[in-house]
A and B are shown apart, each in its own frame.
Chain A
């Protein structure tokens, strides 16, 4: 079975400082991994996607994530936080072809001025 563990339920940063949201995954085969963001009262938006190509994946709004097989991790980073980044972030694992997406429990990012 596939699963993801988001290591922090809340992360607080100041505007302009780096963001690190941590995710570990478990999969019996080479996984596809995603980060989605959910702003209040808005739908889930795809930030980035890993599908066994480059291990460093660049996404929208300056976010990127690095796939590390040896550590079974897929942490999300951004060099400089913006107030508009405050939202709920979900690490997600899928597989090849059709696969139901399996979501983590989410990390709420708080950005203070």
Chain B
């Protein structure tokens, strides 16, 4: 079983929809949680970064972390065609040599159609 599980989709939604992307994890040492957006043939781009349970909002994006359930989510409100991309969750343990050593989910392919 993988340490991080992410539904690969693909997910197709109409413009303006609310999108929910989710990951579950099994390693309770994970303390830092990230969401990356990756456009085709580009490098992953950091979208959201959190390190505590609860919600973090940035514009149309909300990241949610529930450490007790080992579950993280990314919500996209008022989705736009420009949001069409692959979304990757990533996480790492804290301290020592763990910084920057990320474990990724498989990625969810999202298409927002006009």
A binds B: no
Interface residues of B (CB under 8 A from A): none
Interface residues of A (CB under 8 A from B): none
